[in-house]
Amino acid sequence: MFDRVGIIGLGLIGGSIGLALHKTKAARQVVGYDMRTGVGEQACAMQAIDVACTTLADVLQGTELVILATPVGAMHTLLKGMGSLIEPGTVVTDVASTKAQVITWAEELLPASVFFVGGHPMTGKEVSGVEVADATLFMKCLYCLTPVHNTQPIALNKVITLIEVLGAYVHYIDPVEHDKQVANVSHLPFLASVAMMTTAAEDATWSDAALLAASGFRDMSRLAGGSPEMYRDICMTNSPALVTMLDAYIATLEQIRTQVRLQDKNILNTFKEAQQLRLQWQNTRNFTEGEQNP
């Protein structure tokens, strides 16, 4: 299906793509590159890749599809370095959590003879690193693709094939709209989780309260365990959309605070509406998953 696929950045996502490519035998050869010492070897040992390249030039040479799976913060430097090394006709895609900024960088830094298609798989774990990579990570998840006016169909098709190999569903979306939507349903939840973990631990009750914390606390603090570097990069590249969501969240919390302070029994309606919304979302999700299931 593919001849030679290159993965740059061998963490949870990069490693999982490699494992899935091997499992499905979808590529003649999978090569990988990671700046961090020993990670390429580790990925090789796990059979996430066939060859651990030691330079950027090596991973790009003769490679038809290059997948950028580094943190967003590393991508500017990476794309800059690739600009003079990459062969004409190569298709490049990324898996970053924010899209507008990355697409701008790619347009700026890659030669016109190279085809870039932005992507973002809607999956992940709260732990990171190639050691937790998983060939089934993408199964039945939505995989955002953000083609723009000058995206070549041949490049798009190659990335669509990759998504199918991973077992995910293609979801077309405008990059700016993507960034607003993930600020809402992905990045705000992370920040809300971080703030909750921090607030809980700063309270005088924490040393004892930590013992009482049960499954509710566990779920609400889970995202706070996510990669600090990845989320820093997300905040740096999606700042305006995130500020909008944070403002809305704080305003909602202020309303709830007023109802709690006044012991206003109408808070029941606030809770009923939220319960209803949550139920509707669950139903939509099931419906959507069913519909998309081939």
Tell me how far, at minimum, the Cβ of 184 lies from a copy of itself, in Å: 5
Using CB under 8 A as the binding rule, the residues of this chain from 217 to 246 that contact a copy of itself are 217, 219-226, 228-229, 231-232, 235-236, 239, 242-243, 245-246
Q: Distance (Å, rounded) from C-alpha 103 to C-alpha 166?
A: 23
134 binds a copy of itself (CB under 8 A): no
The single residue among 71, 124, 167, 175 that binds a copy of itself, judged by CB under 8 A, is: 124
In angstroms, rounded to a whole number, what is the distance separating the alpha carbons of residues 79 and 151?
Answer: 17
Kindly state whether residue 198 participates in binding a copy of itself, applying the rule CB under 8 A. yes
DSSP the chain: -EEEEEEE--SHHHHHHHHHHHHTT-EEEEEEE-SSTTHHHHHHHTTS-SEE-SSHHHHHTT-SEEEE-S-GGGHHHHHHHHHTTPPTT-EEEE--S--HHHHHHHHHHS-TTSEEE-EEES---SS-SGGG--TTTTTT-EEEE---TT--HHHHHHHHHHHHHHT-EEEE--HHHHHHHHIIIIIHHHHHHHHHHHHHHHSTTHHHHHHH--HHHHHHHHGGGS-HHHHHHHHHHSHHHHHHHHHHHHHHHHHHHHHHHTT-TTHHHHHHHHHHHHHHHHHHHHHHHHHH--
Interacting stretch for a copy of itself, rule CB under 8 A, among 27-35, 63-71, 129-137, 278-286?
A: 278-286
Pick from 33, 105, 115, 190 the residue near a copy of itself by CB under 8 A: 190
Binding positions for a copy of itself, 150-179, rule CB under 8 A: 171, 173, 177
The binder of a copy of itself chosen from 1, 51, 85, 122 (CB under 8 A): 122
Asked if 275 interacts with a copy of itself (CB under 8 A), we say yes
- For position 132 contacting a copy of itself by CB under 8 A, the verdict is no
In this chain, which stretch among 15-23, 27-35, 110-118, 274-282 interacts with a copy of itself, using CB under 8 A? 274-282
Kindly state the smallest distance separating residue 177's Cβ from a copy of itself, in Å: 7
Which of 131, 154, 206, 286 touches a copy of itself (CB under 8 A)? 206
Q: Provide CB contacts within 8 A for 59, sequence distance 6+.
A: 6, 7, 8, 31, 32, 33, 53, 66
We find the least distance from the C-beta atom of residue 36 to a copy of itself, in angstroms, to be 17
Exactly one of 12, 182, 286, 293 binds a copy of itself (CB under 8 A); that residue is 182
If one asks whether residue 293 binds a copy of itself (CB under 8 A), the answer comes out as no
Cβ 238 to a copy of itself, closest distance in Å?
Answer: 9
Query: Cβ(279)–Cβ(130) under 8 Å?
Result: no
Q: Do strands 142-145 and 119-121 pair parallel, antiparallel, or not at all (unpaired)?
A: antiparallel
Instruction: Check if the beta carbon of residue 14 is closer than 8 Å to that of residue 32.
Output: yes
CA distance 59 to 86: 10
Size of the site for a copy of itself (CB under 8 A): 92
User: Which of residues 112, 261, 290, 293 is near a copy of itself by CB under 8 A?
Assistant: 261
Stretch that binds a copy of itself, among 95-103, 106-114, 158-166, 209-217 (CB under 8 A): 209-217
Q: Which of 254, 290, 293, 294 binds a copy of itself (CB under 8 A)?
A: 254
Q: Is 140 in the site for a copy of itself (CB under 8 A)?
A: no
Among 199, 286, 290, 294, indicate the residue that binds a copy of itself (CB under 8 A): 199
